[in-house]
Structure 1
Amino acid sequence: MLIALQDITFEFGSRVILEDSSWHIEPGDRVGLIGLNGTGKSTLLRIINGEYSISKGSVNKSKNLTIGFFNQDLLSFETEESILTVGMMAFGKALELEKDIERITKELEESQTDELLHEFSDKLHEFEALDGYNMKHKTAQVLEGLGFTTADLDRPYNQFSGGWRMRVLLARLILQQPDVLMLDEPTNHLDLPSIEWLERYLIGYNGAVIIVSHDRYFLDRMVNKIVEVYQQQLHHYAGSYADYEVEKELRREMQQRAYDNQQDYIRQQERFIERFKAKASKAAQAQSIAKRLDKLDRVEQVDNGPSKIRINFSVDKTPGKILCTLNNISKSFGPISILKNTSAEINRGDKIALIGANGKGKSTLLRIIFGMEPMEGERVPGHNVVTSFYAQHQLESLDLNCEILDELKNFGSGRTELELRQLLGCFLFTGDDVFKKIKILSGGEKARVALAKTIISQANFLMLDEPTNHLDMNSVQMLIDALNKYDGSLVLVSHDRYFVSQTANKIWEIVDGEIKEFKGTYTEWEEWKKRMATNAPAAATTKLSQSNNNAETKKESQSQSAAANATKGAINKDVQRELQKQQKQFSQVEGQVASLKERKSNLEASLGTPEIYNDKNRFAQVENEYQDVLKYLERANQQYEQLFEKIMQLEANLTS
């Protein structure tokens, strides 16, 4: 065990953040730490890091444990050194040894004493053990994986923007290889290729990893455990974020069922007490039941979390079939060419996601479509198109002296104050928060106000540049639901793959200055890219073989055909044997599934009886057994589906 949090309580003044909560972090854990904004996720990381002291409980760490913590506070770091040098700071001991070796080398030029030679040998051995000869290569590899070019490596750190600086500091942190790596919203500063590289890197990471993120795709691919901070408690779940959602719903259903059954039991007993408490022959029994009810361990009613408020866009007018046409568009910034003589068309009903690495021109293209970016070529707007643009620079249009609620009222959407307050609640402005002045809001809060204004506009064409930044998962889901009901069209830029996969029906990628369109969802686009990558080597081999002498190619083809016919019978026999083997396993698994389903039904019936709640130990035993059966049933169902697909494939091979 690396870290053990045992029954900890932490308070900010009179506000309790965590109460009697426990968490054991093991080697190999990849944990997604989740919860609503303000519930204490970052606070918990700082408790683990030793920055905050708890008021109760204990935090125990293994001897010589190293912890790396990636968070916004790192931006206070300043230096004029190159980003390669900053990244190599991860190898502090190796860098010290390198300086020592250089010093000893100079001293040996003047005097080759045995003492110096022994020291030189020892230093070289230690330097090699620390893999010091590869530290520059490793640092460059990680930095380039996070989106930097080879030319960037020698540029000073202080020449980069905040987002790129965070990438440098992330590179330095993961190169340190701490026993526990804690990452607070790491994907906020990364584009899609960099996120995918980070996923590949972390999957093979030897230490424990704790991730705070609102990126569902990232969590699903990265974590094997979920810890949810909810109602001052830590709730533990095994598996990915998708597994957590299923398991949480099951827990809610079981708790609700247990609550309902117990309430029925309590009502029955209370009716008995009320009816017979004044009857001499039954008074003692009624009193005994009343005492038993007082001692009853009450099941809490299910808390369904924050209420889900549905926000609908209203479209003022219907546009023509074509919203915007781009003809032979070119755009450059000095010597850097972004777009080269490219054309595209946006039709009514299109929901387009612009994806790709930073620097490819996604935001520039968005501004060109909006008509606010000069370029070469022709932009033809459609008929009756009413456009609303959300981007970080839109924050400048907010009235700093206005209150948040008045800012939305003055926008002229025609919505009532109640509707506006409900919308602001989705964007984390609750209660008296709506009366805050815009000028005192943080950058993230201003961004949420600007996004709320975009949602209540009556535009039939939306352009959204990173709309999910600064939103928690519930708010992102609210935005997804709203956009899926939106009757208009949209073009969006986002690095949140879950958001893109749930909203876009077309993908635009800028490749070599051209807009490449894929008609389909993000998931379909990903699958298509994988197929293309897999088929590319085969296509290259085919092209090479076609360049050979036609006679030799024909002869080889005939030879292969003859060999195929000769072995076809043998192959069919092998397939038949494998099919019989899989069918036998399928029958066994089918029986296991039936048995598990029957056991699940029996346990549910047990949990449905009021008497079980009188025995706390018995209830816990049955509930644990029920959870185990659910896990075994899920595994059995997965195996059942895999075997079924394999059998279908084998049967197809036999008939082909």
Structure 2
Amino acid sequence: MITVNDIAVNFGATTLFSGVSFVINENDKIALMGKNGAGKSTLLKIVAGINKPSSGNIYAPKEAVIAYLPQHLLTEDNCTVREEVSKAFHEFLSMKNEIDDINEQLTVRTDYESDDYMKLIERVSELSEKFYSIEEVNYDSEVEKVLKGMGFLQEDLDRSTSEFSGGWRMRIELAKILLRKPDLILLDEPTNHLDIESIQWLEEFLKNQAKAVMVISHDRAFVDNITNRTIEVTMGRIYDYKAKYSDYLILRQERREQQQKHYEEQQKMIAENRDFIERFKGTYSKTLQVQSRVKMLEKLDIIQVDEVDSSALKLKFPPAQRTGQYPVTVESLSKKYGDYVVFKDADMVIERGQKVALVGKNGEGKSTMIKAMMGEIDFDGKLEIGHNAKIGYFAQNQASLLDEDLTIFETVDRIAEGDVRTQIKNILGAFMFKGDDIDKKVRVLSGGEKTRLAMVKLLLEPYNVLILDEPTNHLDMKTKDIIKDALKDFEGTVILVSHDRDFLDGLAEKVFEFGNKRVREHFEDIKGFLANKKMESLKEIEK
């Protein structure tokens, strides 16, 4: 049991939150929710012991193991994937080495009556009791099982960690955490770098094998599947719901409606009392009553209504020239690197106005197909981009293509046209750029901030075909909803690669399934696609 007791965090004169108290019980699976900037990541770091609160304290039992996965990592490059992940057992293996070392000393030493000899016996007894109480585990087997669940292939395990991208290194760190079997796992956006298969493997692990978990995630389906409790950070305080995310949304709405009702009643009472004070402040017979009401208003705690997400902000793509009937046509397209075949004889016909999803686990060719469409790679076969097609492409590295010398506002202002120019600040606000943020240079932004800014740019240019490769990483749920609504209303063609099931649901009307070096076409949405296969999850398909 871990106790958070009356903690507060202040930055100068600004209070991020105060009076925060809650208890994390042994099998709690907690979603930490709230808008960006509310203090979720700060609170997670305090529970992890990385940051200190301005006041208050955290209590955890001495033997409790707390493991924390941040959003951004720096990993060393001096060992293989298998060796790096095996560090999860460092404490156990060190214990074994120390026991062996002491036993060796006890064998060769003859000073049986000395204090040093007795101390060695006490130490080896203490270590042995702890060591042999730990369940015997085949460590190599456990390392392989977890890494394969995270999407690594057998041949990846003995490759150097330096050969892997940031997203795959995140998986290596996550594997180390899971193998330690901590009492509390703290995860900050763990699904950003996972494909659907790995996300669902992680869900099963957290539900069935992990002890307590606290997670920040913008993947609505992931959060709903693993949590049984929701803590919302809002306006400097927390609300604790014994409910999973989707139930919390209903309870939160009810709470805000009650707050709004009480706020309006209080404002009416304040107005009536001020009116009374103004009317009778010079009347001798009413002096005591006037003074009483003035004091009452001075002492009154004003009811605050919690922030409401500005999801009502409606984004609309600018009008664009109409394409031909078939913006993208693929015939017998094959791609291989050396002897490795990514896919072969792929056929795809995408009609004007269609919204399609490319699904399949990582490495099966989804991003490769998109690069072929964009003319970035060579291939065998035929691929035609239709008449008048103007493609807006959101790549996974889109953030790196921004002009780093411009400010956030200048980046958007240079491409915005017409009425949308009057909405630039509102649009940036919806993507979590507020106040003085909009004057920051692009070069000082984090990777996530650059990704969001690149998405804003895409929303404002007159494209009639959108190709989006994992567009929702680093976006919160409110922002994803705004983009999803804009894409639903978009009159052009949309090709989506995404592991975000909630984002795809109700948006993609046709599915291209990548797997086993083939591309299969399915004429239904994600739900129909699963139903036709008599399956409940994309994990089953990807197997």
Aligned mates of 2:22, 2:91 — CA distance in 1 = 32
Amino acid at match of 1:399: D
1:228-269 CA-partner distances (Å, limit 9, x unpaired) = 121111221221111111111100111111222333344445
Decide whether the 8 Å contact of 2:310 with 2:430 is kept in 1: no
Aligned match for 1:236, one of 227, 237, 240: 240
Aligned match for 1:138, one of 128, 139, 142: 142
Amino acid at match of 1:47: I
Decide whether the 8 Å contact of 2:7 with 2:19 is kept in 1: yes
Aligned mates of 1:124, 1:269 — CA distance in 2 = 75
Q: Which residue of 1 is the match for residue 200 of structure 2?
A: 196
Amino acid at match of 1:134: N
Aligned mates of 2:295, 2:437 — CA distance in 1 = 47
Q: Which residue of 1 is the match for residue 415 of structure 2?
A: 411
Aligned mates of 1:412, 1:437 — CA distance in 2 = 18
**Shift, 1:26, TM fit:** 1.2
Decide whether the 8 Å contact of 2:467 with 2:494 is kept in 1: yes
Aligned match for 1:300, one of 282, 304, 318: 304
Decide whether the 8 Å contact of 1:480 with 1:502 is kept in 2: no
**Shift, 1:523, TM fit:** 3.0
Q: Which residue of 1 is the match for residue 93 of structure 2?
A: 95
**Shift, 1:316, TM fit:** 1.7
Q: Secondary structure at the match of 2:468?
A: strand
Aligned mates of 2:520, 2:222 — CA distance in 1 = 25
Q: Which residue of 1 is the match for residue 74 of structure 2?
A: 76
Q: Secondary structure at the match of 1:140?
A: helix
Q: Secondary structure at the match of 1:76?
A: coil
- 1:262/1:431 CA distance change after superposition, 3 Å: closer
Aligned mates of 1:4, 1:163 — CA distance in 2 = 32
Amino acid at match of 1:42: S
Decide whether the 8 Å contact of 2:230 with 2:244 is kept in 1: yes
Q: Which residue of 2 is the match for residue 164 of structure 1?
A: 168
**Shift, 1:141, TM fit:** 0.7
**Shift, 1:414, TM fit:** 4.4
1:528-580 CA-partner distances (Å, limit 9, x unpaired) = 444499xx9xxxxxxxxxxxxxxxxxxxxxxxxxxxxxxxxxxxxxxxxxxxx
Q: Does 1:173 align with 2:177?
A: yes
**Shift, 1:3, TM fit:** 1.7
Q: Which residue of 1 is the match for residue 191 of structure 2?
A: 187
Aligned mates of 1:108, 1:335 — CA distance in 2 = 58
Q: Secondary structure at the match of 2:145?
A: helix
Q: Which residue of 2 is the match for residue 425 of structure 1?
A: 429
Matches within 5 A, 1:576-615: none
Q: Does 1:62 align with 2:61?
A: yes
Decide whether the 8 Å contact of 2:311 with 2:482 is kept in 1: no
Q: Secondary structure at the match of 1:39?
A: coil
**Shift, 1:522, TM fit:** 2.2
The percent identity for this pair of structures is 37
Decide whether the 8 Å contact of 1:315 with 1:488 is kept in 2: no
Decide whether the 8 Å contact of 2:256 with 2:305 is kept in 1: no
Q: Secondary structure at the match of 2:192?
A: helix
Q: Which residue of 1 is the match for residue 528 of structure 2?
A: 524
Amino acid at match of 1:19: S
Aligned mates of 1:442, 1:290 — CA distance in 2 = 50
Q: Does 1:352 align with 2:350?
A: no
Matches within 5 A, 1:440-479: 440-479=444-483
1:330-366 CA-partner distances (Å, limit 9, x unpaired) = 0011222111112110012211111221111111111
Aligned mates of 2:413, 2:284 — CA distance in 1 = 68
Aligned mates of 2:12, 2:300 — CA distance in 1 = 34
Q: Which residue of 2 is the match for residue 480 of structure 1?
A: 484
Q: TM-score, normalised on structure 2?
A: 0.87
Q: Does 1:513 align with 2:517?
A: yes
Q: Secondary structure at the match of 1:383?
A: coil
Q: Which residue of 1 is the match for residue 114 of structure 2?
A: none
**Shift, 1:213, TM fit:** 0.9
Q: Which residue of 2 is the match for residue 379 of structure 1?
A: 383
- 1:13/1:120 CA distance change after superposition, 3 Å: closer
For structure 2, the 5+ residue unaligned runs are 109-116, 118-122
Decide whether the 8 Å contact of 1:23 with 1:234 is kept in 2: no
Work out which of the two has the higher radius of gyration on C-alpha atoms and give 1 or 2. 1
Aligned mates of 1:299, 1:406 — CA distance in 2 = 39
For structure 1, the 5+ residue unaligned runs are 537-656
Matches within 5 A, 1:38-49: 38-49=37-48
Q: Which residue of 2 is the match for residue 328 of structure 1?
A: 332
Q: Secondary structure at the match of 1:471?
A: coil
Q: Which residue of 2 is the match for residue 316 of structure 1?
A: 320
**Shift, 1:134, TM fit:** 1.6
Aligned mates of 1:279, 1:466 — CA distance in 2 = 70
- 1:437/1:264 CA distance change after superposition, 3 Å: closer
RMSD: 3.4
**Shift, 1:390, TM fit:** 1.1
**Shift, 1:483, TM fit:** 0.9
Matches within 5 A, 1:617-636: none
Q: TM-score, normalised on structure 1?
A: 0.73
Aligned mates of 1:206, 1:414 — CA distance in 2 = 53
Aligned mates of 2:222, 2:302 — CA distance in 1 = 38
Higher relative contact order (CA 8 A, sep 6+): 2
Q: Secondary structure at the match of 2:172?
A: helix
Aligned mates of 2:129, 2:299 — CA distance in 1 = 69
- 1:408/1:297 CA distance change after superposition, 3 Å: closer
- 1:394/1:46 CA distance change after superposition, 3 Å: closer
Q: Does 1:21 align with 2:40?
A: no
- 1:432/1:288 CA distance change after superposition, 3 Å: closer
* Range with greater deviation from structure 2 (225-234 or 512-521): 512-521
1:395-437 CA-partner distances (Å, limit 9, x unpaired) = 4543333333333343364455333333222222233433333
Q: Does 1:217 align with 2:221?
A: yes
Q: Secondary structure at the match of 1:327?
A: strand
- 1:22/1:448 CA distance change after superposition, 3 Å: same
Aligned mates of 2:517, 2:197 — CA distance in 1 = 18
Aligned mates of 2:507, 2:206 — CA distance in 1 = 28
Decide whether the 8 Å contact of 2:75 with 2:169 is kept in 1: no
Matched length: 530
Aligned mates of 2:126, 2:388 — CA distance in 1 = 78
